[in-house]
Amino acid sequence: NQDHAELVFDKLNILLKNNGKWFLVDFSVIRGGGKWWKSLLLKSMYLFFRLFKIVSVSKLIEMKPYFQKRNYLIIDERFYYKNFIEATVYLKQK
């Protein structure tokens, strides 16, 4: 959930030094076409991971606001698999 994501983010943020790079890779159903198959695939993955007790979440958490709130700078961003996978490199500024 959102509260847990913020807690984990804050802990990692404290450990990362100024000018450190944070590489985030996540799924995205927002960008680009094919929202129906992306949502279906993501729901299937969540079901599989919950079945084996690997993860307990059931929806994506938008992480960009956490980085924006703490003044991180995007230094590279790429999308793969018809924009279903998003890879972003953030720079922690002072």
Please give the residue that has the higher pLDDT: either 22 or 44: 22
pLDDT of the residue at 33: 74
Nearest residue to 65 via CA among 1, 4, 5? 5
Mean pLDDT of the chain: 89
Q: Is the pLDDT of residue 46 over 90?
A: no
Position of tokens 């890779």?
Answer: 25
Please give the residue that has the higher pLDDT: either 47 or 59: 47
Please give the helix or strand (H or E) that residue 89 lies within, else none: strand 85-91
Q: What is the mean pLDDT of residues 21-42?
A: 85
75-89 pLDDT, tens digit each? 999 999 888 899 999
Q: What is the mean pLDDT of residues 57-68?
A: 86
Pair 35, 29: CB distance under 8 Å: yes
Please give the residue that has the higher pLDDT: either 8 or 36: 8
Position of tokens 């299937």?
Answer: 44
